[in-house]
């Protein structure tokens, strides 16, 4: 009995020490972070609400995410620059985003009519879409923090730059999700995986998400690089129109929309009013496991080959590419998102495409001109085999 009591006391003491040690280590970790971040006194909130895994693209490794920024002060401040530093190696600058970048990538929900989107007045907020790029061979830190540089006025009325260190994040691993393409049509495909998708913010059940963070629009081209033959105002004349779409993985059909009429290609007016219910046009959503939905948008009405509850196999025909919903021309919108209770309610998730041939990259302005001329430039193509990468930006690939 005596020994039992002694053992119990000893075990309790050890447990207390372990708990105290664990709490102490946690406090040390928190204190370490606080030591790294210098206090500026500026009442600015900044945080990253969601981080997806890293992707491989264009011979780089990238982290794509959103930095939420709120001004809690009574006077306005202008965001001039954002820097990202390695938390462990203090002073090791990882990336820098200047005023021009902020102009192009700073969202101001409900305030898009502002003369300068970089100005945050009292209780105003913005969302900076960031692409953190690590070149081949560049070490990837475990944790980083953000240094925001704000322009404002001091008590003397002088214009000053005030830095503030915020938002420590842990760099995730490279995504392990690898898929085939959502079609098997051989030939050349133009893709658009641009900021317009990444900045598309949805509110679902009181939570903001970015389901299209890694979305890609796919358009098939003719042998001469043309989008369409004869009259481009008819969907059936587009090379993309009616191409068979296939399941990228085994899964279960969990969502469909059908019966939405199609748009006239390159028209300023949509065939239906664009709402959350119609934005995807005729669509299919497949639960592919691991908390992921695969979303296919803008299909031809009455072309869907599946219904809710159907089990599908990888490579199975599910529908035909069309021009319904928020669509300017026949193309496929495809993305992965986390499971949710509403259409476009999850977080956009990255994946890698197993095999494709990269031909060329384009600028957004070049792509706009291609549509005006009904043809994609085929100059300076440099076929390069790619494995386990995700295309980002604008470009051309080929399927053999």
Question: From the centroid of its chain, how far is CA 210?
Answer: 7
Topology at the third CATH level for domain 178-399? Glucose Permease (Domain IIA) (2.70.70)
Q: Mean pLDDT lowest for which of 32-36, 55-59, 78-82, 387-391?
A: 32-36
Q: What is the pLDDT of residue 133?
A: 97
What is the structure's pLDDT at 57? 95
Average model confidence (pLDDT) across the chain: 90
- Min mean pLDDT across 13-17, 51-55, 122-126 is at 13-17
CA angle 102, 104, 108 (to 5 degrees): 75
Band of pLDDT at residue 114, cut at 50, 70 and 90: confident
Element (H, E) at 367: helix 364-373
Q: Can you name the residues that pair with 164 across neighbouring β-strands?
A: 148
> CB within 8 A of 227, min separation 6: which ones?
219, 221, 238, 239, 240, 329, 370, 371, 374, 375, 376
**Domain spanning 44-170, CATH class:** mainly beta
Max mean pLDDT among 20-29, 104-113, 166-175 falls in: 166-175
Span 226-246, average pLDDT: 97
Whole-number Cα distances in Å, 340 to 109, 186, 236, 253 = 22, 34, 35, 14
Locate 238 and state its tokens: 């587009």
CA dist., res. 234 & res. 239, Å (int): 11
241 pLDDT tier (thresholds 50, 70, 90): very high
pLDDT at 36: 63
338 vs 347: CA distance, rounded Å: 5
pLDDT higher than 90, residue 229: yes
Of 326, 348, 328, which Cα lies nearest the Cα of 338? 348
Question: pLDDT (tens digit, 9 = 90+) per residue, 296-324?
Answer: 999 999 999 999 999 999 999 999 999 99
Would you list the domain boundaries of the chain?
A: 44-170, 178-399
Q: Which DSSP state fits 375?
A: B
The CA R_g of the chain, rounded to the nearest whole Å, is 25
Task: Identify the band that residue 326 occupies on the pLDDT scale cut at 50, 70 and 90.
Answer: very high
Residues 6+ apart with CB under 8 A from 253: 284, 285, 286, 287, 306, 307, 308, 309, 310, 312, 318
For residue 245, pLDDT over 80 is answered with: yes
Phi-psi region at 195: left, alpha or beta (left = phi > 0; alpha = psi -120 to 50): alpha
As a whole number of angstroms, the distance between CA 358 and CA 397 comes to: 5
CA separation, residue 359 to residues 148, 188, 398 (Å)? 38, 9, 7
Q: Give pLDDT, residue 257.
A: 98
Please report how many Cα atoms fall inside a 13 Å half-sphere around the Cα of residue 362, on the Cβ side.
22
- Cβ-Cβ contacts under 8 Å for 120 (sequence gap 6 or more): 69, 70, 71, 76, 77, 78, 79, 126
Closest CA to 220 of 194, 245, 195, 257: 245
pLDDT in tens, 259-285: 999 999 999 999 999 999 999 999 999
Q: Indicate the burial class of 164 (C-beta count within 10 angstroms; 0-12, 13-18, 19 or more).
A: buried
Task: Name the nearest CA neighbour of 207 among 68, 309, 381.
Answer: 68
């Amino acid at each position: 009995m005596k020994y039992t009591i002694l053992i119990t006391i000893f075990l309790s003491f050890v447990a207390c020490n372990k708990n105290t040690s664990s709490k102490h280590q946690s406090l040390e970790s928190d204190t370490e972070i606080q030591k790294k971040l210098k206090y500026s006194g500026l009442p600015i909130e900044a945080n990253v609400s969601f981080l997806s895994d890293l992707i491989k693209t264009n011979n780089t490794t990238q982290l794509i995410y959103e930095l939420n920024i709120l001004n809690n002060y009574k006077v306005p401040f202008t965001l001039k620059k954002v820097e990202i530093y390695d938390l462990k190696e203090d002073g090791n600058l990882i990336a820098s985003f200047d005023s021009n970048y902020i102009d192009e990538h700073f969202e101001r929900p409900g305030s898009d009519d502002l003369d300068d989107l970089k100005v945050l007045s009292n209780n105003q907020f913005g969302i900076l879409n960031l692409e953190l790029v690590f070149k081949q061979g560049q070490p990837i830190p475990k944790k980083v923090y953000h240094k925001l540089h704000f322009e404002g006025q001091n008590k003397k009325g002088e214009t000053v730059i005030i830095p503030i260190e915020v938002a420590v994040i842990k760099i995730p691993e490279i995504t392990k999700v690898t898929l085939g393409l959502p079609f098997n049509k051989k030939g050349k495909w133009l893709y658009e995986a641009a900021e317009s998708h990444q900045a598309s913010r949805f509110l679902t059940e009181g939570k903001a998400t970015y389901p299209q963070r890694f979305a890609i629009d796919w358009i098939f081209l003719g042998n001469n690089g043309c989008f369409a033959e004869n009259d481009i105002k008819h969907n059936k004349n587009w090379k993309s129109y009616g191409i068979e779409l296939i399941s990228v993985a085994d899964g279960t059909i969990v969502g469909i929309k059908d019966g939405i009429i199609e748009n006239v290609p390159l028209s300023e007016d949509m065939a239906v009013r664009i709402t959350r219910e119609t934005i995807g046009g005729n669509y299919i959503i497949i639960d592919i496991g691991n908390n992921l939905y695969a979303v296919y948008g803008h299909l031809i009405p009455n072309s869907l080959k599946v219904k809710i509850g159907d089990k599908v196999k990888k490579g199975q025909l599910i529908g035909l590419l069309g021009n319904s919903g928020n669509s300017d021309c026949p193309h496929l919108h495809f993305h992965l998102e986390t499971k949710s209770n509403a259409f476009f309610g999850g977080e956009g998730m990255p994946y890698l495409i197993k095999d494709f041939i990269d031909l060329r990259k384009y600028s957004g302005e070049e792509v706009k001109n291609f549509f005006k001329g009904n043809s994609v430039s085929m100059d300076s193509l440099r076929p390069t085999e790619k494995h386990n990468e995700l295309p980002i930006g604008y470009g051309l690939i080929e399927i053999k």
